Chain A
Amino acid sequence: MKHLIYSIIHLQYALRKVFNQWQYVGFALLLSGAFSCSDFVEVDAPKNTLTSETVFEDAATVKSALANIYLRMRDQSMVSGRNGLSTAMGIYSDELDYYLFDVNNTQLYQHSVLASNGLLTNWWRSSYTIIYASNDIIKGVENSNALSPDEKAEFKGQALFIRGYIHSLLVALYGDIPYITTTNYIANNQVSRIPIDKVYENIITDVKEAVSLLKNDAASDESVIPNRATANALLARMYVQTENWELAETTASKVISNYSLETDINKVFLKNSASTLWQFKPNGISDRNTYEANQFVIRFIPGQAFSLSEKLLNSFEVGDNRRIAWIGSQTSSDGLNTLFFANKYKAIFNVTASLEYSILFRVEEQYLIRAEARAQLGNSIGSQTDLNVIRNRAGLANTSASTKETLMTAILNERFVEFFTEHGHRWFDLKRMEVARNELASIKTNWKDTDVLLPIPETELELNPNLKPQNAGY
């Protein structure tokens, strides 16, 4: 105890001594303390980012944000020419045969799809990334004080169109889905699925608003940005889907009145085709042309991934010029085996000149939509007229179908040979016209009626249990 008291007295003495020294040493600490702490640990945003508010103060940066959407769609979404609907739904339906061993594609080809399928998971994820980007633009544009009303209308119109378009593909693949209209991650993280009818209602609302906001109907700037005609084309497609035949007819007519059909079928898939409503511009660096040509054109056997199915080849009528112009063939090195491939897009990446862009909407679809709507409305003559426009261009005679049923069959087949290997048109047709079982059960030995819907990605059900239950059959 004595020691302790002794020590404390010394401590006091020493402390006093130290404080006396303060004047000649202490300024070092004073100086270091002179820098205000919180200023030192505050930093500016790095040079490769823009804060969100500044993006919507300038039309140029909003265009950049929209360009991001188109680039994402072109490169990594389900409408991309690589690993997109064109190949995957081609092998899932009766358009294509598949030769490689990629597990995701094999599952689709053999109708043994698992909920863990990586391709489908990527489609799901990339879709909602695009939807988020659209929603953020819609929100940012609405709140912006710096943009002019015209700019606002144009940007919001494009974003609404994209939101509707992506949802329209999701609902067609997965059935009931959530419809995302906000950027609120808390709500979106636990969102539930809504019934198919409700989804289509939302899509139609969005696309109608897009139509009212967008101005331009004519092709411009290589049609690499969707315009009002594109929005109307999607709207017509949605009306057919929801069996709203009158509106489908009038909406398709609006598109047809603004676009002339490309008369030469050899030019339909060139970048300046008159028929094109909307297409993706390639990046111009590694790819000057389309992913589609690279995916479909068989350059060597072996080495092929996809070839056209016997069924598709047999669906062409004799004298159909599309059979010559849009289909190519390759023979194996030993000469024993010949395979046919989609040759709508011919220029593969490494051709120096840029000849072809990847087309999403073309006016031919509107003729066949109107033909279908008119057939459903009992206007057989009108239906035949539209159908014949497409047939005649391909060098075929007028259709012999005249009743609603025969016309529907003729339209289904016409759509098959016109839109094969284009963004899953065939699969969506089979599903919409409820003939998937008839057409596929004989080809796909594993066919189950539940195959009309693809599974919600397993990881997403884990992340958001509100998305349960899984679609039947998975």
Chain B
Amino acid sequence: MKNIILLKISRILSTACFLCMFLGWQAVFSLTGSLHNNPWVNQSWQQAMVTGAITDINGIPLAGVAVQVKGKQIGVVSDPDGNFSIVAKPNDVLVFSALGFITQNVSVNQQNTIRIQLLEDVTQLEGITLNAGYYTVKEKERTGNIAKLSSKIIEKQPVNNPLAAMQGHLSGVNIVQNTGVPGGGFTIEIRGRNFLNGATEPLYIVDGVPYGSESLASVSVSQGINGANISPLNAINPNDIESIEVLKDADATAIYGSRAANGVVLITTKKGKAGKTKFNVNMSSTLGTVSNFLDLMNTQQYLEVRREGIINDGFGSFLENPAFDFVWPDVKSWDQNRQTDWQKELIGGTSYRNQLQLSVSGGSDQTQFLISSAYQNETTVFPGDSKYGKVTVNSNINHQSKDNRFKINLSTLYSRETNNLPRTDLANSAYTLEPNAPALYDENGNLNWENNTFDNPLGLLQEDYNVNINTLIANTGITYELTTNLEFKTSLGFTTYDLDSYRILPSTARNPSFGFTPENYSTLTTNSGSRQSWIVEPQLQWKPKWNKLGLNVLVGSTFQKQPSTQLVQSGRGFPNNELIRNLSAAKTLQVLEDSDSEYNYQAFFGRINFNWDGKYIVNFTGRRDGSSRFGPGKQFGNFGAVGLAWLFSEELLLKESSLLSFGKLRGSFGSTGSDNIGDYQFLDTYRVTGLNYNGVGIIEPSGIFNPFFGWEVNKKLEAALELGFFKDRLLLNSSWYQNRSSNQLIGIPLAATTGFSSLTGNFDATVENTGFEFDLRSTNIKGTNFQWSSTFNITFPENRLVQFPGLETSVFANRFVIGESLSIIKLFESQGVNSETGIYEFKDFNGDGLITGLEDRKFIEDFSPDFFGGLGNVFRYKNISLDLFFQFKKQRGFNSFVTQTAPGFRRNGSVDLLDRWQEVGDEVSVTKASASLNPASFASRDNQRFSNAAVSDASFIRLRNISFSYHIPKTNKNGLDMNVYLQGQNLWTITNYDGPDPEQTSTLILPPLRQITLGLQLGF
């Protein structure tokens, strides 16, 4: 079987090569052919050279304007000074066109020089083209929902990951940053949670190549610092991105079939432009700090409630008994007056990020190139010298034959990331360490363990976590126009993602009294994961046009193979800690995981688009998909969609309206799917674990198997109204969607008596996401010197479990409720503190006199957002521009009660816990102090953590981005193009939330940082 697959790979590759050669030859042939037919070779006596200059209304030269002789295949592009020269006949008409400007036609007549001013196109819609993956579509004529974020917005944000740049900007797209530690991951939801198994990752396509976003991190190496969640998208430098398009509805996504249920994110990198060779240098420095510190108890308050808690628990007499001193060193042996702000010590630092980017671009009309390289270095807010570094190289070459029939594009994106972090996030220690905990270092500069009574958090800093990631994304796109309107296209893509990480546990990181030595304790765990993917996608596109009917037909197929391997090893016992990074020095070596997997994927897809006079558009898309993640007979699935659009503003009645400049009604319906369950789930197997017992290698049952599961189905319905007013100075897009996901693939939880916790299978439940999305773009002021434009988007999502046969008796009975969101949690209903006993009380839903998790967790809280969106304003005065972007979200989240509900524990907590019950009659919100020694109130304190009292409003309005830039006027024509900019990210937040950050509510993880960037950009 392996051999057959190899054979096939080679067959496919050789076919692909052959195709390339064939097409290349065809191109050369047609090139030479076209030279012979070229009119200005034969008819030169009639021709004259026409030269000229193109400026805007302010007289600023316009580069890159296409100048074409109407009706002929002759064209040039203006140079950086706006000059052009072209050969034309006196009766020719020259067409001047450029993105963002109104196209002008000028008759040559007898002129030798033509000076022309182009007017800016106030109509924002014209000329905007969207990347829909396999095809492009005009913004005006799209039938699907495609949201776009351009480089203009991405460049203004000092972020490391493209997803960070998208936050808040796109309606229907909810992105949460998982950690403030550099190199961490993000959670993204496009139009809500579709699946019970929680999979929300969309399909990412980078320059036409599907890019696996699953992390290859290993829990045994990186769990403590980033939850083994390292976003592979970190490899893409946001500054290299030309645009990000998000496909949301059935019409846009169905062509991606089975992988599109959670939406598709298309990332397009920058390309070179014809003209003078341009150099661009961009350097910046960023300072980052934790944006919000918690209000924690000071030493005096802490010790007061500690003692009170110990007395309340009935151990007061022990406090005075020196024999028990060791039980509570914080109250007894430690300095009672010492006070340390652990937040300041452990997460209060400033992180520095330095970035330098160089790019060179240019080219001729036939060949353009862009090479860009960036270096970035970032430290953390933790003490110590942790850092993240990234080098990216992005190169892009475009070539087209003179007759434009053959085009080839090669884009390569390489990145190397290194990340060196402490093994464990220090945020939790910062929030919970006793305020009078002793000094971190003793007088000799060694870690202080205070006679074995103090678990020094800085020990964690010696437990290094280190990761090296190499990513290569390469794609070749070849297009050949076979005849007019018929085009053959193929993309050949390759990606590789290699992750090498290790974690060390040196004996010196632990309390020396444990007696750990390098020989008996020091441990190195390494993880190397590797994933390759190659893809071939031959396609045919036919774009005929007859009179008023335009047709666009696309057929193609996909072959994709994605093998991956993972090797996790652990070495223990080293002669000394200097050798701890060398596995071969380890006394004992253990292979924790040595696995490989292969994901094969094949599809046929097509699109037929009818366009009647730019007024009525019908778009059919479809895909037949096969995936190796399913068992025999279940591998294939069919998906498809239809989209309709009516541009009613083109109707005669409205065509001359001065108010309404654009109006479109569109709708779509179709199905997509998902195979988001991991590889090989259908096989009945035993797994090699790498462990042994008594010298016998261990194999264990991998799980209960089910060979019969199949595709998840996600049906999407959308209706939208798009309006443009005042010559499109105000654009409003509003859409309503309803997505229903059924045949849910989940690990169905099983009772332990089955021997396993879950079984992969299809579950007959339906989840519905409905919502309204509004996008507003306006050009408020458009003067010569001053411009002001705004964008606003808001999404009202609603998530609902529609049907779930047998929910009441199923394992999900306590997780979900029909008619409610998937993000609900069932909680106790807290009735506050009993003023007599000082203990929390709860509503006894079933009235049996007992408060039990099974019967009385009936209070429902929904954690999915009520609405979210963003508001952006761009102001420009002459050479100065200012961007302000606010993000907002209305939602609920766990508050600080979820970690601690009573004062007096041996851990610090919020000052809110001081409002505690102390004597009979106290009407307060917090239970009496306890040192957790008396069991009587265990349950009530624990229940309070999972009650409605532990949930509060976590809505926020955040000034996510400010960007201020000054363009230094050019002194002469060939001088430097200089930009100075100051950018801020996550600067200011309005919220009532009491935790570290309303966006990311865990207290175990460093919240996203506030960052300020100063940068300089030079172009010449």
Chain A residues packing against B (C-beta within 8 Å)? 3-4, 6-7, 10-11, 14, 17-18, 21, 25, 28-29, 31-33, 35, 37-52, 55, 61, 63-65, 67-68, 70-72, 74, 99, 101, 103, 106-107, 110-112, 114-116, 124-125, 127-129, 131-133, 135-136, 178, 180, 183, 185, 188-191, 221-222, 224-225, 281, 283-286, 299-303, 332-334, 336-337, 349-350, 446, 457-458, 460-465, 467, 470
Which residues of B lie under 8 Å from residue A446 when comparing CB positions?
935
Sample of 6 more A-B contacts, CB < 8 Å, known A41-B600, A50-B685, A185-B750: A25-B482, A46-B680, A49-B686, A107-B935, A300-B452, A462-B811
How many angstroms between the C-alpha atoms of A183 and B755 in the bound complex?
A: 8
* Interchain residue pairs with CB less than 8 A apart (20): A14-B485, A14-B544, A14-B546, A18-B542, A21-B482, A35-B602, A63-B696, A68-B698, A110-B935, A124-B752, A129-B756, A185-B756, A188-B755, A191-B753, A283-B691, A302-B329, A337-B323, A350-B516, A446-B935, A461-B854
Cα distance A333–B752 in the bound complex, in angstroms: 46
Residue of A nearest to B610 (CB): A7
Q: Counting CB contacts under 8 A, is B635 at the interface? A: yes
Distance A127 CA – B753 CA, assembled complex (angstroms)? 9
CB-CB contacts below 8 Å: B317-362 with A? 322-327, 329
B442 CB–A CB distance under 8 Å: no
Measured CA separation A460–B755 after assembly (Å): 12
- Asked if B749 lies at the interface with its beta carbon under 8 angstroms from chain A, I say yes
Residues of B within 8 A of A129 (CB): 752, 755-756
Q: Report the minimal beta-carbon distance from A274 to chain B, rounded to whole angstroms.
A: 20
B453 within 8 Å of A (CB atoms): yes
Expressed in whole angstroms, the minimum distance between the Cβ of B201 and any Cβ of chain A is 21
**Smallest CB-CB separation from A137: which chain B residue?**
B701
Q: Identify which of B538, B754, B813 contacts A29 (C-beta below 8 A).
A: B538
- Determine if B2 and A44 form an interchain contact, defined as CB atoms under 8 angstroms apart: yes
Interchain CA distance A389-B744 in the complex, whole Å:
65
B753: contacting residue among A178, A281, A470, CB under 8 A: A178
Q: Does B13 sit within 8 A of A, measured CB to CB?
A: no
Q: Which residue of A lies closest to B591 (CB)?
A: A48
- Please list the 10 inter-chain residue pairs (A to B) with the smallest Cβ-Cβ separation, ordered nearest first: A132-B755, A302-B326, A112-B935, A350-B520, A10-B546, A464-B751, A7-B549, A49-B685, A67-B693, A41-B626
A350 in complex: contacting residue of B12, B521, B593, B635, CB < 8 Å: B521
Q: Which residues of B contact A285 (CB under 8 A)?
A: 572, 588, 590
Question: A332 — which chain B residues lie within 8 A by C-beta?
Answer: 323, 326
Interface of A is mostly: helix
- Chain A residues whose C-beta falls within 8 Å of the C-beta of B555 in the assembled complex: 29
| 8 Å CB interface, B555-609 against A | 555, 557, 559, 572, 588, 590, 593-602
Q: Which A residues lie within 8 Å of B548 (CB)?
A: 3, 7
- Report the minimal beta-carbon distance from A453 to chain B, rounded to whole angstroms: 16
Q: A41-B600, A42-B628, A43-B598 are in contact. Are A68 and B689 (CB under 8 A)?
A: yes
Contact of A281 with B693 in the complex, beta carbons under 8 Å: yes
- Decide yes or no whether B441 CB sits under 8 A from chain A: no
Docked Cα-Cα span, A63 to B692, in Å, equals 11
The residue that A37 contacts in the complex, of B547, B602, B684, with Cβ under 8 A, is: B602
A40 CB contact (under 8 Å) in B559, B691, B932 = B559
Q: Mark B1-31, 1 if CB is under 8 A from A, else 0.
A: 1101000100110010001000000000000
Closest to A299 in B: B515
Whether A28 contacts B755 by the Cβ 8 Å rule is no
Docked-complex contact A48 and B596, CB < 8 angstroms = yes
A17 CA to B757 CA in the complex, in Å? 60
Shortest CB distance B759–A (Å):
6
Contact with A along B652-692 (1 / 0, CB 8 A): 00000000000000000000000000011001111111011
Residues of B within 8 A of A29 (CB): 538, 540, 555, 557
Q: Are A114 and B942 in contact (CB under 8 A)?
A: yes
Which residue of A has the minimal Cβ distance to B811?
A463
User: Is A180 a contact of B685 with CB atoms below 8 Å?
Assistant: no
What's the least CB distance linking A199 to chain B, in Å?
13
Chain A residues with Cβ below 8 Å from B627 are: 41
Contact of A67 among B322, B325, B697, B754 (CB under 8 A): B697
Contact A333 B451 (CB under 8 A): yes
Contact residues of B: prevailing secondary structure? mixed
Count A-B contacts at CB 8 Å.
299
**Looking at the complex, which one of A25, A49, A55 makes contact with B683 (CB distance below 8 Å)?**
A49
> In the complex, what's the smallest C-beta–C-beta distance from A283 to chain B, in angstroms?
7
Does residue B911 face the partner (Cβ distance < 8 Å to A)? no
Contact of B686 among A52, A189, A286, A463 (CB under 8 A): A52
Contact A50-B699, Cβ < 8 Å, known A128-B755, A464-B753: yes
Closest A residue to B4 by CB, please name it. A39
Inter-subunit contact B752/A463 (CB<8 Å): yes
Q: What's the Cα separation between A185 and B747 when bound, in Å?
A: 13
Q: How far is the CA of A284 from the CA of B587 in the complex (A)?
A: 11
CA A4 to CA B551, docked complex, whole Å: 13
Is residue B37 contacting chain A, with contact meaning CB distance below 8 A?
Answer: no
Chain B interface residues toward A at CB < 8 A: 1-2, 4, 8, 11-12, 15, 19, 322-327, 329, 451-453, 482-483, 485-486, 488, 490, 513-517, 519-521, 536, 538, 540, 542, 544, 546-549, 551, 555, 557, 559, 572, 588, 590, 593-602, 626-628, 632, 635-636, 679-680, 683-689, 691-694, 696-702, 704, 749-757, 759, 809, 811, 813-814, 852-854, 906, 932, 934-936, 938-939, 942
Contact A11 to B544, CB < 8 A, known contacts A43-B598, A188-B755, A300-B513: yes
Whether A35 pairs with B559 at a CB distance below 8 angstroms is: yes
Q: Are A40 and B600 interface neighbours, CB within 8 A?
A: yes
Is there an interface contact between A48 and B688, defined as CB atoms closer than 8 Å? yes
Q: Which residues of A contact B598 (CB under 8 A)?
A: 43-44, 46
Cβ distance B584 to chain A, nearest Cβ, rounded Å: 16
Tell whether, in the assembled complex, residue A44 and residue B1 are in contact, meaning their CB atoms are under 8 Å apart.
yes
Q: Do residues B749 and A463 form an inter-chain contact, with CB atoms below 8 A?
A: yes
A35-B12, A349-B520 given; A45·B683 CB < 8 A? yes
Contact between B753 and A116, CB atoms less than 8 A apart: no
**Cβ-defined contact, B751 with A463, below 8 A:** yes
CB distance from A446 to the nearest CB of B (A): 6
* Contact A68 B546, beta carbon cutoff 8 Å: no
Q: Is A25 within 8 A of B751, CB to CB?
A: no
Which residue of B is nearest A50, CB measured? B686
Residues of A within 8 Å of B542, CB to CB, are 18
Q: Are A61 and B594 in contact (CB under 8 A)?
A: no
Task: State the CA gap A241–B697 with chains docked (Å).
Answer: 36
Residues of B contacting A107 with CB < 8 Å?
A: 935, 938
B329 cross-chain contacts in A, Cβ below 8 A? 302
Contact assessment for B756 and A132 in the assembled complex, using a CB-CB cutoff below 8 Å: yes
In the bound assembly, the distance between CA atoms of A446 and B314 in angstroms comes to: 14
Cα–Cα distance between A460 and B932 once the two chains are bound (Å):
27
Chain A positions within 8 Å of B757 at CB level:
125
CB of B755 within 8 A of CB of A337, answer no
Residues of the A chain whose Cβ atoms lie less than 8 Å from the Cβ of B452: 300, 302-303
Of chain A, the residue at the smallest CB distance from B690 is A48
- Closest CB-CB distance, B976 to chain A, in whole Å? 49
Which residues of chain A are near B4, meaning CB under 8 Å? 39
* A101 and B691 within 8 A (CB): no
Instruction: Give Cα A10 to B686, complex, Å.
Output: 62
| Cα of A11 to Cα of B698 in the assembled complex, Å | 67
Q: Which partner residue on chain B sits nearest A72 by CB separation? A: B700
Q: Note all chain B residues with C-beta closer than 8 A to A37.
A: 602, 626, 636
Asked if B685 and A189 sit within 8 Å, CB to CB, the answer is no
Task: Please measure, in the bound complex, the distance between the C-alpha atom of A462 and the C-alpha atom of B546, giving whole angstroms.
Answer: 65
Within 8 Å CB of B595, what residues of A?
46-48
Residue among A14, A224, A332 facing the most chain B CB atoms (10 A cut-off): A14
In Å, the complex CA distance between A355 and B13 comes to 60
Docked Cα-Cα span, A111 to B938, in Å, equals 12
Name the residue on A nearest B588 (C-beta). Answer: A285
Cβ of A113 to closest chain B Cβ, rounded Å: 9
Q: How far is the CA of A128 from the CA of B750 in the complex (A)?
A: 12
Nearest B-chain residue to A461, judged by Cβ: B854
> With a CB–CB cut-off of 8 A, which chain A residues contact B906?
101
Give A36 to B536 CA distance when docked, in angstroms. Answer: 15
Tell me whether A64 and B593 are in contact (CB under 8 A). Answer: no
